Amino acid sequence: MEAISNYFAANPAVVTLLAIFVVLFILYSILKKFITFTVIIVFFIMLTGGIYLFKDPASAPDKIRNGVETLKSGGEQIGEKFGNFWEDTKDLFNKGKKVPGDINRMLDASKESVGK
């Protein structure tokens, strides 16, 4: 064990490369599903473009342009919906933080009214 620590102390470049490898491995493990999803989407887009090109080569660029515009507008709509969802979630969270205090005030008020 001491020999290993002495080796790393004598060779800081090896430690740096090992750290980079570990970080890349962790990132790959986390993003593996995202990478697979991206590859599948790219394959689907290329397949769709190939079908357009095979069916009618003359109008394929127009159909592909139309498809890209449709995807772009759909992506913008999804972005807007997600933004609204995020804002609504933050508002709901802020309202949820106030609930325990409101319940305690109501309980205290009910205790006072029962005591009278």
| Global pTM value | 0.35
Measured at the CA of 67, the angle between CA 62 and CA 71, to 5 degrees, comes to 150
pLDDT digits (tens, 9 = 90+) for 29-83: 888 888 888 889 889 888 887 777 777 777 767 777 887 888 888 888 888 887 8
Do the Cβ atoms of 67 and 48 come closer than 8 Å?
Answer: yes
Number of domains in the chain: 2
Do 82 and 39 reside in the same domain of the chain?
no
Closest CA to 46 of 68, 25, 27, 62: 68
Q: Which domain holds residue 44?
A: 1-55
Q: List all residues 6 or more positions away from 63 whose beta carbon is below 8 Å from its beta carbon.
A: 52, 56
Do 79 and 48 reside in the same domain of the chain?
no
Do 51 and 87 reside in the same domain of the chain?
no
φ, ψ of residue 56 to 5 degrees: the values are -145, 90
The pLDDT of residue 104 is 74
The pLDDT of residue 12 is 83
Do 43 and 75 reside in the same domain of the chain?
no
Do 50 and 74 reside in the same domain of the chain?
no
Do 76 and 47 reside in the same domain of the chain?
no
Do 48 and 2 reside in the same domain of the chain?
yes
Do 84 and 98 reside in the same domain of the chain?
yes
Do 41 and 67 reside in the same domain of the chain?
no
The pLDDT of residue 20 is 92
Closest CA to 64 of 52, 75, 54, 77: 52
Rounded Cα–Cα distance for residues 46 and 43 (Å) = 5
